[in-house]
Every structure is written in structure tokens, then in C-alpha cells.
Chain A
Amino acid sequence: MSDATTQLIENLNALATGLFLLTAFGIVATRQARGCLHLFIAQSLLLAASAALLGLHFDSGHLYGVALVNVISKPIIVPWLLRRIAPAEIYTRREIDQVLNIPTALIIALALAIGAYFLGVPLANAVGPGYHGPNVPIGIAGLALGAFTLAVRREAMPLLIGLLAMENGAFLAGISIARDLPILVELAIATDGLIIVFIVGVLVRAVEQHVGTTAVGELASLKEVPAKRLAEEAAP
């Protein structure tokens, strides 16, 4: 491979990972449930693109496998499963009151992304020489922003997307530092993602049926109540 081609591949990978980071910010801030899903699909395609580019760079069949698994499972099977299992309501919901307002959430997200950079760069250097690209810091940022999404959202769909986005982030970093993971493991992890969608879908349907909402984050009745107060409440 000539130097110019390598350079082009590295630049394209930097572009893909940069856009990946943008989608992670988008998931934190998008109010519409459907928008979140679309951002997640875009993010998975960008992950696949980065895997394919790195595959080209290192001439690695494993990474093509990762790209293929991602293209098939997340943009196609995940929405199909959700449509089959979860109540249709989760698509239409729009979150009005979030735990944090959107500007505040984005500022915290920005701080997380900067923190991820300072954690990721030494980590990538410690792996040894060779091209890592911006995958490790951006992957860690994706992981952190996914976790942050879980903390600030209440609707079922953004929460599910937050979980899956965390996995995407871990993988984006993983494909650059753990390139030769057996394909069996990749397949198993992809299947596992689908089981997550299935179980969470079933749970959301049960919540919708028995509680009458898909804002699962608002379920908060279980906590420690001092025994004395309870006895007082029970007394007539």
C-alpha cells in the first residue's frame, strides 16, 4: 500500500470517528425517541466504517468481520426487533422534562469527552507502536457519553440506546487496540446486543401494560423508608 493511500485511509478513519463522537453527543441531547434511534443507527454505521477502514489499513479479515456484523445487526435487526416487541408508543414519545436541561447536559458531556481524551491517549500509547488513530479516546468518550445518557434520560428508548451506545464506544476503542479478537467472540457479542434489545423490549412492554407509561426513569418507589414512619402511616 502506498503512503498516499495509507494517509487517505487514516484521514477517512479520523473523519468516521469524529462523526461517531458527534452522534454520541446527539444521543445525549435529542428529545425525540425516534431521533435517538436514527442517531444510534448512524453511529453503528460509522463504527462499521471505522472497522472496515482499519481492516484495510492492517489487512485484517477480523476487522471486516466486525464491520459486517455491525452493519447487519444494529441498523437492520435492532429496529426490526423493537418494532416487533416494544410498544409502538416508545417511538412517538418526546421527552419534555429531562433531569438536566440540554445545554447543561451538553457542557457536562463535553467535559466527559475531554476527560476521555486524557485517559485514552496514554492508554493507546501503552499498547505499543502502530497506528491507533483517534479510536481509543473517542471510544472512551462514547462509553462515557452512553453512561451519561443513562443518567439523564427517563424514556425507555433513549435509555436502551444509551446502553447500546456504550457497547459501540467500547468497540470503537477495541477495534484499534484488540484487533485479533476471535470472530466467534464478535458474533457472540453481537448476539448478546440483540438479546439486550429483546429483554429490554419485553420489560418496557410489561411496564407499559402494568404501569401505563414508557418513562421508565420515573419509576422510583423503591427506597429505604424509616420503619417508624411506615408504622405511623399504617396506623389509622
Chain B
Amino acid sequence: MSVVAILFPPLVAAALAWIPFRRGWAPGVTVLSCLIVLVLAARMAWRVAAGEPVTDSLDPTWSNWVAVDGLSVLILLLIALVATTAAVYSVGYMAHGNPAPRRLRLYHANYNLFIFSMLAIPLLAEPTLVWIVVELTTLCSALLVSFANTREALEAAWKYVVLSLMGAGIALFGFLVLFAALHAGGGSQYTWAGLVAAAPGMPPLLVQTAFLLILIGLGTKVGLVPMHTWLPDAHSQAPSPVCALLSGIETTSILYVILRLFPIMQAVPGAHAQTWALVLGLISVGTAALLLLQVSDYKRLFAFSTVEHMGIVLTAVGLGASADYGAMQQIVNHSVTKSFCFFAAGATLLAVGTREIAMVRGLVRRAPIAGAALIFGGLAVAGAPPLAVFLSEFAILKAGLAQGRYVATGLLALFIVIAFFGVMVHLNRMVFGAPAQGLPDPPGAAGSRLPFTCTLILILAAVPVLVLGVYVPQPLHELMKHAAAALVR
């Protein structure tokens, strides 16, 4: 079976979700399609980990458009995993408050299209087509961000669309310049592999311009500082399962496109791709860490933590060599942890009905599951041992020290520590703090019960966060090694 088969279930499910059938139909179709995608992605990942080629069954004419290697399979697997958990979480979460059946169908159709567009990013090999599906991720998710139709949600969706598309316009020019560079360098195949092959002959000025344009353009969507301003808005106003998708995997799958440029840049003399990555990464981590200290909305808190994590990945890629593996590990751990955090934030929102940190105190007594999940998610995302993110951050810092890059590594460590305190100060107060004097009861705090699927996902999604912190399974280790190898020429 061809690798493109993975694109069909979400497309079919998007069409089926529109059928006005029973209430459980659209969510059911979505969950089923995501499960199929997960199985297909896991199969591909297994083959890559075992060292077998995944593209053998691919028709040669397709190879100009579709290509799969370790890095793309890793991203595919993460998309499939988070898409599945968020789909199951959505079943209970979106049924809360009894929305009109038509709105529910709209949600699920959009959800599937969003998954489709994300899955296409790592599969496609032609950079301009990749650009188009990156645009599609914005367009398919815009209506998910604005789903609540409140003034705030609409504002967030608007900022998200305008800034992402503005970035995309800049990136489009970057991809056209890259195409020109390929032809000037004597290459003819405009694919990631073709670019890497033709890189030594390409005019450095063109490649560098293209790299910077794409880094700025797509960096807007990844949430790199200073292009991050839309991210906390969109990642906090969307429904929680959508936040898990946006923060957990959309950012990483766009970052993947930027990572694809690094092997090309390595062949170009005088190109400072890694320096750019290091500087932009450190600025992102530092700014996010400081902003984390003064947030007032716990979903924005997790959104800023996403900016921080993207910065850490970029910094690791900037350090290069042995830090590449750490970057891959950080991508994996970010996806599983951040999606869990937004599931926990969603459970908290259902329990207390407000997003304000100042309005929530003593959550663990009022809603034990949400409270426990929130503090667990906070510890995990801030990088407390022995949880997943700790391991990858430690690996990156260790690689940085081994290379003797003391300043960069020191700054990174400092920012990570600041971010840790930023996250924990707020969440600790929310979960364990005594109710302050004079604070009114938050609205809608009738103590609505957490839907079953939400509880189920909170338990299931916690497993990888715990396990990956103490033990990396051999196949995953192999997959991450293959993925890290794709960053080097």
C-alpha cells in the first residue's frame, strides 16, 4: 500500500461528517479515521525503525511529489498520535453544553480537514506544494479557532489568519527564490532531495535569501519571537482539543519544513543557518520564559510554553551535531506533553468555567482529576525529572556542553529554569492555593462532571509523558536517530 493512503481517511471522514445522521456519527467517524491514520503511521514508523525503506511500493512518477524518510515519518507519527487522542477527547468535550448538531458537524468536518492538511506536510516532497498545505493548515484551522464565536475567539482567529498568511506570503517568495537557486545551480528536480543534491552549485546569495525568507515566513506560524504575537491568542481561545492540535503538532509540523532547509544550507559556503537558528531560538526561549512569569490565563501559559519549546528545538538544531538527536527527542516529548497539558486545561475549564489564573484556587479539592492532571502537566511541561521533557532538555544541554558552547548552553539552561518557575508558580497556586479573600465564585462553576472520554484520555495521554521520561523504546530511539540523520547532509 502506498504511503499516500494515509491521506484518504481524514478526507473521507471530512465528507462523511457532514451527513446529518445520529448525534454520535460525526465524532465516531472522526475517531475511526484518526485510528486508521495512527495504525498506518505506526506501520511506517516501524518499517523505518527496522531500517527498511518505506517508499518501495511508490510509483517512480510519484517520487517527484511524495517522499518519506525518518524525519517525515516521525512527524507523521506524532500528528497521528495527537490527532487520535484529541479526537477521542473531543467526543466528550465538544458535547458539553449541547451545541447544535450543525455546529458539531462543522467542527468535525473542519477537524478532519485540518488533520489532512497537517499529514500532507511531511509526505510532500515538492517545496511549493508543501507551502500550499502549510497555508491549508491555517485555513482549515481558522474556523476551529473561532469556533466559540465570542469576540475574543474571533479576534484570535483573525490575528491567526492574517499573521500566518502574511508569513506565508513571505515564505512563498522564499520558495520561489529557492526554485531559482536550484535552476541556477544546475539542478532540475525541485524536491527536498533534489535540492540537497544540487546545493553545492547553487548561488549562496539566493540560498541564503530563500532561507531567511522562509525562516521568517514560516517562523511566524511556528511562533518564533518576535513573530509570535498571535500564538498565545489563538492557542488559548480555541476549544481545548484544538489547542492540543495547534500547540502539540501544528507548530512542530511547520518547524519540520524549516528543518528541511538545514541539510541544503550545510552545502552552501558562508551560510550561517545554524547561527540564525541558535540566535532566533535563544531569543524565543528567553522571551517566552520571561512572559511566562506574568501571564494571567492558564491556557496562555501553556501557549507561551509552546513558544519556549519551539525555541529550544531551534536552539538544539543550531547547536547541531549531537544536539540534533536531542532536538528530535524534544519534538516528540513536546507533542505528547503539550497535548496532555491542553487536555488538562480543558478539564479545568469545564470544572471552573474561567481561564483566569487569579480566579482559580484550591482546584485539587474542587475537581481532583483536573487538579491532579494540571499539576502533572505543569511539572511535565516545565521539565521536571523524571518526566519526558526533562530527558530531552537534559540531552540538549549535555550536547551543548560537550561541544564547548558554554554561553549558548548556559543561557538556554537559565531560560529553562526561569520558565520552570514561571509555570510552577502559577499552577501551584491554582491547584493547591487557599481561596483568596474577596474573590467571587467563578461563573459557571456548577462543578460539571468531567465527560468519560476526557478522563480516559487524561489517563492514556499521561502514559507516554511518564514512560518517555525514564525509558525510550528501541524502535522510537531508532526512528529518532533516523530523523536526526535527515538534518545532516
Contact = CB atoms under 8 A, between A and B. Distances in A.
A9 B232 CA distance: 50
Given A178-B176, A207-B154, 20 more contacts: A126-B205, A127-B203, A150-B162, A163-B162, A163-B166, A174-B172, A178-B180, A189-B128, A189-B132, A195-B135, A199-B142, A199-B161, A207-B158, A210-B149, A210-B154, A219-B155, A227-B426, A231-B436, A235-B438, A235-B439
A206 interface: yes
A90 interface: no
A219 B151 contact: yes
Interface stretch (A16-24, A50-58, A100-108, A165-173): A165-173
B152 A203 contact: no
Contacts, number: 158
Interface of A is mostly: helix
Nearest to A132: B180
Given A127-B206, A170-B176, A178-B176, A230 B296 contact: yes
Q: Which 4 A-B pairs have the closest CB atoms?
A: A166-B169, A174-B176, A219-B155, A177-B180
Contact of B169 (A122, A163, A180, A207): A163
B239 to A, nearest CB: 15
Nearest to A170: B173
Interface residues of A, number: 54
A143 B173 contact: yes
A222 B156 contact: yes
Interface of A: 122-123, 126-128, 139-140, 143, 146-147, 150, 159, 163, 166-167, 169-171, 173-174, 177-178, 180-182, 185, 188-189, 192, 195-196, 199-200, 202-203, 206-207, 210-211, 216, 219-222, 224-228, 230-231, 234-236
B184 interface: yes
B146 A206 contact: yes
A77 to B, nearest CB: 16
A180 B170 CA distance: 20
B197 interface: no
A181 B176 contact: yes
A226 B177 contact: no
Contacts of B156: 222
Given A181-B179, A221-B152, A188 B439 contact: no
A226 B296 contact: yes
Nearest to A198: B139
A196 B172 CA distance: 15
A143 B170 contact: yes
Interface string B339-365: 000000000000000001111000000
A171 B172 CA distance: 9
23 contacts: A123-B177, A139-B173, A174-B173, A174-B176, A174-B179, A177-B176, A177-B177, A180-B183, A185-B126, A195-B135, A196-B139, A196-B165, A199-B161, A203-B157, A211-B154, A220-B155, A221-B155, A222-B155, A224-B295, A226-B294, A227-B294, A227-B295, A234-B359
